[in-house]
């Protein structure tokens, strides 16, 4: 039987971080399932989901914990089994001039409608010909089966006008 784990990692950015993690997991018969990493303000941060034989769990966890002496900050969580349901997954895109509070307001509306945020990617980049920052975000969201998508769209469009951003919902 296998056990799944999710680890978050933050360390000073340098070559070889992924190699070190993947080697350690592999040495304990682990299988790298999914990950998402990026460099932020000189730090390399991300998450990894992996599985390993249950009898190797203590060994792999001890080996991962030993990375903290190499400037790694780790948080390790045991995965939970998930049942596959036919969920309504929608993609949300947000684009507009960067300003404080965009994610706060969007996430407030999503939470008030009991929408689960599954994945969020955001960035700020120089807006062509404007000289200011352009905020972009993409999210996969899980819509409750009893929620009218038009109601959510209306709520998001109301705050989009206040935030001066464009918000689009589309089927995945």
Average pLDDT, the chain: 92
**Helix orientation angle between 17-27 and 57-65, rounded to the nearest 10 degrees:** 150
Predicted confidence (pLDDT) at residue 84 exceeds the cutoff of 60: no
Strand partners, 6: 49, 77
- For residues 142-161, give the mean pLDDT: 93
Radius of gyration, CA atoms only, the chain: 20
**pTM attached to this predicted model:** 0.79
Residues 6+ apart with CB under 8 A from 76: 5, 6, 7, 61, 64, 65
**pLDDT (0 to 100) of residue 87:** 73
- For residues 30-42, give the mean pLDDT: 95
* C-alpha distance across the termini of the chain, in Å: 33
Query: Which domains are present in the chain?
Result: 2-78 (3.30.70.260), 88-171 (3.30.70.260)
Phi, psi (rounded to 5 degrees) for 83: -100, 135
């Amino acid at each position: 039987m296998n056990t799944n784990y999710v680890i978050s990692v933050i360390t000073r950015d340098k070559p070889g971080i992924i190699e070190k993690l993947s080697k350690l997991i592999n040495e304990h018969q682990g299988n790298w399932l999914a990950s998402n990493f990026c460099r932020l303000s000189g730090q390399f941060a991300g998450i990894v989901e992996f599985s390993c034989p249950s009898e190797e769990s203590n060994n792999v966890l001890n080996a991962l914990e030993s990375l903290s002496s190499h400037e790694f900050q780790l948080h390790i969580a045991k995965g939970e089994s998930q049942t596959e349901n036919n969920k309504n997954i929608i993609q949300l895109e947000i684009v507009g001039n960067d300003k404080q509070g965009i994610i706060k307001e969007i996430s407030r509306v999503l939470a008030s409608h009991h929408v689960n945020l599954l994945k969020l990617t955001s960035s700020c980049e120089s807006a062509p010909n404007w000289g200011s920052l352009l905020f972009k975000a993409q999210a996969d969201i899980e819509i409750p089966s009893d929620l009218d998508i038009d109601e959510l769209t209306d709520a998001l469009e109301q705050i989009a006008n206040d935030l001066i951003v464009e918000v689009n919902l589309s089927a995945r």
